[in-house]
Amino acid sequence: MGCGTSSSMKDKKSEKALKAALVIQNWYRGHSAQLKTRQRYALTIFQSIEYADEQGQLELSNFFSFMLENYTRLLEEDSELVTHLFDSNIQDKDRQDYWVLIDVPDSYCGPRLQFPLTFTDIDLLIEAFKQQQILHAYYVLEVLFETKKLLQQMPNFTHIKTSPSKEITICGDLHGKLDDLFLIYYKNGLPSVSNPYVFNGDFVDRGKNSMEILMILFVSFLVYPNDLHLNRGNHEDFMMNMRYGFTNEVLHKYKLHGKKILQVLEDIYTWLPIGTIIDNEILVIHGGISESTDLNLLHRIERNKLKSVLMPPIPIDGDHATEKGNKVGTTITARGIRTNGSLSEQLTKHEWEQVIDILWSDPRGKRGCYPNTGRGGGCYFGPDITSKILNKYQLKMLIRSHECKPEGYEICHDGKVITVFSASNYYEEGSNRGAYIRVSSGTPPRFFQYQVTRATCLRPLYQRMNAVESRAIRMLKERMISQKTDLIRVFQLQDSSKSGKLSVGQWAFSMENILGLNLPWRSLSSHLVTTDKDGNIDYMSSFQDIHIQKPVKEVQSTLIETVYRYRSDLQIIFNVIDSNHSGLISMEEFRSIWKLFKSHYRVCVDDSQLDELTERMDLNKDGSIDFNEFLKAFYVVHKFDKLSKSDTKVA
């Protein structure tokens, strides 16, 4: 009898333990699902803002065409601007022009490369960069010139073969994330004859170590030109570099020779191959395809004529244009500009569009091919377009990059399209994994995921997700405050009773109408506004904890918001015009550019307000302003940035 009681007790304990385990399991699954949902929303915000910025960057291409058509005085006085924008055939300069005055002092303790380069130099460079050493400009320029010389011998598409015993590794965007490249090389091995790689573009921008990544990749390419393959991405473009950080990185690290390094890099970008074809079966390109993608044409184009995908070919209408010669040999027509015949050195519009498509396009589940409204360039292509193009050229698979994915890779279009993205923590620490792919003849692709972890590895998952979510909401609020006036106007139109409140539906409609980010506003409302007990939104609470700092208090908010919203575009425009990198622009030139900018972007701002603002910013009254400092004066202040006590408020 005692034994029976003991057995019954054990059964009850086991039953309780099982129930407890199921409760814990269900809680954990629910908690994990909740964290995944929060991560998905945060990534959606990051990507929507990123693509909206890229859309703005592509709009700059239209502005530069508009500017050069209208700003004739600038062209007559500064032919270098026209050459800088449109002459894609940069003259090769004698190496002595660059190196004769560059001395490597005995005190330099960084890596010293020995040409011709060997495997040892790759290892030397990696170890030096792990110690945060800077490669001397002398060696940087030598690597760049040797790389250009080798790239000029490469075809537009690199054709390579694998075998069951020889895999090739494909890496996606790195975006200046040096630790990710270190981790890939550590896990997967350094490049070699038996360990080939394809790096599928976007090596630079956003991250802090784009130059180091380029140097490692270029040195690896010089050592193993048949086993390390480099494809051009949409960020291998000097115009993109101006907005997304690489230009500033180079000028900061190489204050003396940075401008020369950038000039050579501009030329190198044009010689990077635009794709790789593996085993005549797998097409590897950075972005994607369209219904009109012509691989035969893309094999034939003179890729070095494409200096920037953001500068479309200038149309010339010889029959209708009224031409006017000027003192610098520039011909200005009603529809374009010619500089000493340089237009013969540009791609045709059709060729340019073909390259845009393969660098900028994204796959989608919807059938067909339609404009990429998110990025503003390239297209969205459906599974039917993938099948059509692959079948046409007897290919089996498309491997592309260009999009951050939570797990580092994604498979779509019935397994025919794979996206691989190799920059982990792309938006924020913990935001996404990175991945690379290994492929070989006759076997399915193998995927390898990773995530660079430092301080974050000591923090619980929910804390890391809180940080990611907080950063996403912060960026979204900065977007909102940049269009505060427009948002309030639409809110008030919806608020017929003048109550200061809107339904969630009305608020969400207004937000999408003005910001155009295609976000789940209803779900995000709890993070952005306050809601009363009836579920109505106090729409002015959208701006209660954030404002744009005014450099001059008397200036109207509309002007402040406009300059803040377009500050990146304006900075690029002024930097392009500032051909000598002085950082200064005359008041007259500033006003002329602003008028063209205002006209092209349809900005409604009183010019007298801008005049007052620029005069205040001309601190030494010499008729010029430091435009970089001018634009830095417009910044967002978040309430919690200034809180030192719980009751501190933003005025």
**CATH number for the domain harbouring residue 531:** 1.10.238.10
Are both 534 and 572 inside the same structural domain? Answer: no
Asked if the structure places residue 26 within a domain, the reply is no
- Nearest to 526, CA basis, from 535, 534, 517: 535
Cα torsion 303, 267, 177, 122 to 10°: value is: 100
Structure token pair of residue 230: 């480099």
Bridge partners, 624 (sequence order): 586
CB-count exposure of residue 143 (10 Å: 0-12, 13-18, 19+): buried
**Could you read off the pLDDT of 570-582 as tens digits, one per residue?**
888 887 777 666 7
Structure token pair of residue 475: 């960026």
Bridge partners, 99 (sequence order): none
Asked if the structure places residue 37 within a domain, the reply is no
Are both 186 and 270 inside the same structural domain? Answer: yes
CA distances from 139 to 102, 255, 412 (A): 10, 15, 43
55 vs 521: CA distance, rounded Å? 21
Consecutive H or E run containing 397: strand 397-400
Chain centroid to Cα 133, Å, comes to 26
Active-site annotation holds for 235: yes
**Could you read off the pLDDT of 623-651 as tens digits, one per residue?**
787 877 777 777 777 765 544 333 333 22
**Could you read off the pLDDT of 418-452 as tens digits, one per residue?**
999 999 999 988 899 999 999 999 899 999 999 99
Are both 258 and 407 inside the same structural domain? Answer: yes
Are both 156 and 198 inside the same structural domain? Answer: yes
Boundary of a domain, candidates 418, 450, 482: 450
| Confidence at 311, pLDDT banded by 50, 70, 90 | confident
Query: What is the domain range of residue 532?
Result: 472-543
Task: Write down the pLDDT at residue 606.
Answer: 75
CATH code: domain of residue 414: 3.60.21.10
Are both 414 and 487 inside the same structural domain? Answer: no
Are both 246 and 373 inside the same structural domain? Answer: yes
Task: Write down the pLDDT at residue 604.
Answer: 78
Rounded to 10 deg, the angle between the 137-151 and 258-271 helix axes is: 20
**Could you read off the pLDDT of 491-502 as tens digits, one per residue?**
999 999 999 999
Helix (H, G, I), strand (E, B) or coil at 513: helix
The number of distinct structural domains making up the chain is: 3
Are both 538 and 559 inside the same structural domain? Answer: no
Report H helices in 361-482: 383-392, 461-481
Q: Assess whether pLDDT exceeds 70 at residue 344.
A: no
Task: Write down the pLDDT at residue 608.
Answer: 78
Q: Assess whether pLDDT exceeds 80 at residue 151.
A: yes
Are both 207 and 144 inside the same structural domain? Answer: yes
Structure token pair of residue 208: 């802090």
Boundary of a domain, candidates 543, 578, 605: 543
Of 262-276, 584-598, 627-641, minimum mean pLDDT range: 627-641
Asked if the structure places residue 466 within a domain, the reply is no
Q: Which of the following is catalytic: 175, 229, 235, 402?
A: 235
| Confidence at 98, pLDDT banded by 50, 70, 90 | low
DSSP 192: B
Asked if the structure places residue 265 within a domain, the reply is yes
Asked if the structure places residue 82 within a domain, the reply is no
**How many CA within 13 A on the CB side of residue 363?**
26
Task: Write down the pLDDT at residue 386.
Answer: 98
Pairing of strands 282-284, 330-332: unpaired
Q: Assess whether pLDDT exceeds 80 at residue 67.
A: no
Task: Write down the pLDDT at residue 28.
Answer: 64
| Distance between start and end Cα atoms, the chain | 79
- The pLDDT mean for the chain works out to 84
Quick check: 374 and 50 in contact, CB under 8 A?
Answer: no
Asked if the structure places residue 381 within a domain, the reply is yes
Asked if the structure places residue 207 within a domain, the reply is yes
Are both 269 and 150 inside the same structural domain? Answer: yes
Are both 529 and 571 inside the same structural domain? Answer: no
CA distances from 450 to 183, 447, 609 (A): 8, 10, 52
Are both 587 and 533 inside the same structural domain? Answer: no
- Nearest to 519, CA basis, from 558, 561, 481, 475: 475
Structure token pair of residue 79: 């032919």
Pairing of strands 443-450, 530-531: unpaired
Give the list of residues 6+ apart from residue 38 with CB closer than 8 angstroms, or none: 465, 469
Distinct helix (H) and strand (E) counts, the chain: 24, 23
Are both 189 and 310 inside the same structural domain? Answer: yes
- Nearest to 223, CA basis, from 247, 203, 193: 193
352 vs 64: CA distance, rounded Å? 16
Asked if the structure places residue 67 within a domain, the reply is no
Bridge partners, 379 (sequence order): 371
Boundary of a domain, candidates 417, 450, 483: 450
469 vs 527: CA distance, rounded Å? 10
Average pLDDT over residues 277-303: 97
Helix (H, G, I), strand (E, B) or coil at 564: helix
- Nearest to 215, CA basis, from 128, 156, 275: 128
